[in-house]
């Protein structure tokens, strides 16, 4: 963060004041205290969002070109997430929901900047860097090359371990490849980000299913530690009559086959049952393959768990929503599904998820005609041969360190709890860090609960935070999306990225406004070398608390 090198103090700027800021002595002393911004706190990957945004925003103050600052921002970002171009496209960005700026005008467009940084790195062939120069003798097996496995392999390889990644499918990526369509995640982007991880020295063995092609016992005996990131590639069925018909598919099955390049004959009219991300993806893939698609969901639009933006885009593209509708049975003719008998629903009291429970409306049965049905209601693990690591329901239990019930075996991703790509990346990192601790003979550690700074804790002033609208990505018009799987997101320009980065409030970290230095009449605030900010000479401090009350980003605490 930039520092001005003025020798004499400037006049103190106008800004927020309190009754304690006029110079009267009171109990306590100021303390510079780094805090966690809510964007990072709510990011399951724990990305240093503030770090990479301010790196770009302060390029000029540090005498850096935009490109140099963006390259530095890339390395700040990938310390926690090695696939930023992927995450910048598929993540529903819970960080933005938490952003303090939303209480000022609009949240910072973090996800769009992340995509820009990721694409910049690919375009400029930026390679990952190792944390150590030496290679370690210990070998670690990573089972599964989805987001959790890629994250674990990256963190282990950059620490010098010999990593072998086992993938049961012909290509890497797990659900990134076999569950997310290429119009959301172009395959050249995914391939390049995977290759960059492999270039750290990770050995890849595809078409190798641990537990089937090679036994789990053999893996445990040959490697010093194991990470299981096998995902959930088996779709759950509806558990209704008729669903064994050949034209009834689970969402996971349909997406896997279609995205692997197989032509799946759905006919003209397709029903997709479900309201989650996989349901929306399956519907949009079927639409692009020429079908007329209707999605059936048992609650209202407000309760749909799918990413809201994706639902909006699906509707724009022509997908119909039949809400408050639930399946009862499948109507068969000559052994094939020709319709879905459904109930009308109404919402009752909230259930364990916090959403209102759907209740059947008596006498509301009706049939919706179709040529095929895709049941995208949920997924579950498919892990033959890995039974020692599974609980009685077929999932994997881990503690806060990512460790399973088996010695030396860790896990993360959908196989422990179906969630977001960013969640899997974070779990892979935590597990890898603890594998490193285990192999070094150190105590395992779970994530710490940081001190988070919120909008109410900051001294917001228009001098430092002028109102500014968010810079939004565009996308191709509906007509340009029809019948193809091309990437339709239009990235931010360089000018927009810089403007968006400058909207970051640097919550909880010095932004070098110099208020503390300028307001202190006791010469108790000392400038440090550029980028290190300031420190206090508390022997000179008279506890007037002006610095505390004039710090816009909440970096200063008052210690009673």
Q: Any idea which of 70-74, 290-294, 457-461 has the lowest mean pLDDT?
A: 457-461
The CB density around residue 409, as the number of other CB atoms within 10 Å, is 26
Q: Is residue 98 part of a domain?
A: yes
pLDDT value for 167? 98
Counted domains in the chain: 4
Nearest C-alpha neighbor of 536 from the set 515, 517, 511, 550? 517
Is 358 a member of any domain?
A: yes
Q: Which residues form the domain of 341? A: 234-379
Identify whether residues 410 and 358 lie together within a single domain: no
Question: Looking at the structure, do residues 248 and 349 belong to the same domain, yes or no?
Answer: yes
Let me know: does 283 contact 274? Beta carbons within 8 Å.
no
Q: Looking at residue 459, what is its pLDDT? A: 87
Is 184 inside any structural domain? yes
β-strands 139-143, 29-32 pairing: unpaired
Q: What is the pTM of this model?
A: 0.93
Assess whether 170 and 285 both reside in one domain.
no
With respect to residue 448, please indicate whether it lies within any of the assigned structural domains: no
Q: What is the CATH number of the domain that holds 117?
A: 1.10.1060.10
108 and 157 fall within a common domain: no
The string of pLDDT tens digits covering residues 234-246 is 999 999 999 999 9
CATH number at residue 516: 3.30.70
What CATH code is carried by the domain that includes residue 339?
3.50.50.60
The one-character DSSP state at 405 is S
Shared-domain flag, residues 281 and 369: yes
Instruction: Tell me the pLDDT of the chain averaged across its residues.
Output: 94
* Token reading at 375: 């049941």
DSSP 151-216: HHHHHHHTTT-EEEEE-SSSSS-THHHHTS-TTTS-HHHHHHHHHHHHTTT-EEE-S--BTTTB-H
Q: Average pLDDT of 83-90?
A: 98
Instruction: Based on the fold, state whether residues 474 and 516 are members of the same structural domain.
Output: no
Examine the pLDDT at 477 and tell me if it is beyond 50: yes
If asked whether residues 190 and 260 sit together in one domain, one would say no
Residue 432 lies in a domain: yes
Q: Are residues 292 and 357 in the same domain?
A: yes
Q: Is residue 324 domain-shared with residue 413, that is, in the same domain? A: no
pLDDT at 461 over 90: no
Mean pLDDT of 55-83: 97
pLDDT by residue (tens digit) across 159-213? Answer: 999 999 999 999 999 999 999 999 999 999 999 999 999 999 999 999 999 999 9
pLDDT tens-digit readout, 155-168: 999 999 999 999 99
Distance CA 27, CA 30 (A): 10
Mean pLDDT across 437-461: 94
450 domain-assigned: no
Burial letters 453-490, b for 16+ CB under 10 A, else e: bbbeebbbbeebbeeeebbebeeeeeeebeeebebbee
Reduce the DSSP state of residue 75 to 3 states and report it: helix
Tokens linked to 81: 């997430």
Question: By the 8 A CB rule, do 434 and 444 touch?
Answer: yes
In this structure, what are the phi and psi dihedrals at residue 52, rounded to the nearest 5 degrees?
-80, -30
Query: What does the pLDDT look like over 23-64, one tens digit per residue?
Result: 455 689 999 999 999 999 999 999 999 999 999 999 999 999
**Res. 7: pLDDT tops 60:** no
Shared domain check, 365 and 296: yes
**Distance, CA of 330 to CA of 522 (rounded, Å):** 80
d(CA 471, CA 93): 15
Asked whether residue 425 is assigned to any structural domain, the reply reads yes
Same domain, 385 and 416: yes
Residues 64 and 52 in one domain: yes
User: How would residue 460 be classed by pLDDT, with cut points 50, 70 and 90?
Assistant: confident
Taking the C-alpha atoms of residue 47 and residue 346, their distance in angstroms, rounded to an integer, is 41
Q: Is 556 helix (H, G, I), strand (E, B) or coil?
A: strand
The residue ranking higher by pLDDT, 98 or 463, is: 98
Q: Is residue 132 part of a domain?
A: no
């Amino acid at each position: 963060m930039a520092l001005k090198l003025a020798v004499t103090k400037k006049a103190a700027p106008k800004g927020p004041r309190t009754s304690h800021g006029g110079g009267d002595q009171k109990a306590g002393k100021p303390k510079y205290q780094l805090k966690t911004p809510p964007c990072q706190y709510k990011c399951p990957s724990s990305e240093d969002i503030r770090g990479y945004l301010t790196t770009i925003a302060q390029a000029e103050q540090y005498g850096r070109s935009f490109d140099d600052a963006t390259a530095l921002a890339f390395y700040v970002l990938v310390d926690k997430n090695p696939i930023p171009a992927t995450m910048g496209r598929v993540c529903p960005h819970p960080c933005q929901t938490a952003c303090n700026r939303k209480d000022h005008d609009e949240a910072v467009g973090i996800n769009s900047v992340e995509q820009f940084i990721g694409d910049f790195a690919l375009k400029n062939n930026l390679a990952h860097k190792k944390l150590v120069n030496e290679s370690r003798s210990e070998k670690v097996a990573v089972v599964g090359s989805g987001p959790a496995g890629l994250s674990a392999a990256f963190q282990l390889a950059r620490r010098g371990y010999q990593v072998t990644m086992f993938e049961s499918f012909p290509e890497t990526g797990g659900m990134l490849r076999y569950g997310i369509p290429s119009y959301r995640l172009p395959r050249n982007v995914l391939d390049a980000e995977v290759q960059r991880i492999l270039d750290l020295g990770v050995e890849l063995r595809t078409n190798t299913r641990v537990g089937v092609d090679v036994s789990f016992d053999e893996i445990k005996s040959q490697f010093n530690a194991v990470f299981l990131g096998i995902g959930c590639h088996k779709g759950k069925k509806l558990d209704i009559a008729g669903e064994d018909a050949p034209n009834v598919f689970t969402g996971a099955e349909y997406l896997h086959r279609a995205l692997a390049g197989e032509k799946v004959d759905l006919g003209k009219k397709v029903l997709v049952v479900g309201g989650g991300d996989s349901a929306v993806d399956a519907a949009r893939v079927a639409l692009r393959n020429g079908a007329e698609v209707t999605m059936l969901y048992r609650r209202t639009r407000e309760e749909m768990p799918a990413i809201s933006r994706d639902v909006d885009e699906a509707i724009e593209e022509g997908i119909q929503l039949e809400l408050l509708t639930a399946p009862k049975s499948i109507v068969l003719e000559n052994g094939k599904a020709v319709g879905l008998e459904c109930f009308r629903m109404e919402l009752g009291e909230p259930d364990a998820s916090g959403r209102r429970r759907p209740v059947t409306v008596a006498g509301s049965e009706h049939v919706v005609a179709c040529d095929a049905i895709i049941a995208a209601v949920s997924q579950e693990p498919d892990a033959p041969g890995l039974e020692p690591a599974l609980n009685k329901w077929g999932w994997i239990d881990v503690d806060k360190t990512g460790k399973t019930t088996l010695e030396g075996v860790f896990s993360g991703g959908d196989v422990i709890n179906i969630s977001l790509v960013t969640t899997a990346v974070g779990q892979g990192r935590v597990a890898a860090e603890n594998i490193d601790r285990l192999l070094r003979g150190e105590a395992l550690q779970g994530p710490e609960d940081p001190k988070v700074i919120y909008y109410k804790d900051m001294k917001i002033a228009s001098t430092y935070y002028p109102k500014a609208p968010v810079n939004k990505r565009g996308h191709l018009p509906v007509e340009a999306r029809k019948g193809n799987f091309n990437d339709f997101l239009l990235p931010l320009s360089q000018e927009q990225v810089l403007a968006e980065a400058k909207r970051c409030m640097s919550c909880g970290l010095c932004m070098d406004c110099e208020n503390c230095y300028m307001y202190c009449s006791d010469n108790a605030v000392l400038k440090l070398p550029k980028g290190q900010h300031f420190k206090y000479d508390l022997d000179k401090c008279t506890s007037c608390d002006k610095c505390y009350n004039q710090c816009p980003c909440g970096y200063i605490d008052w210690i009673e």
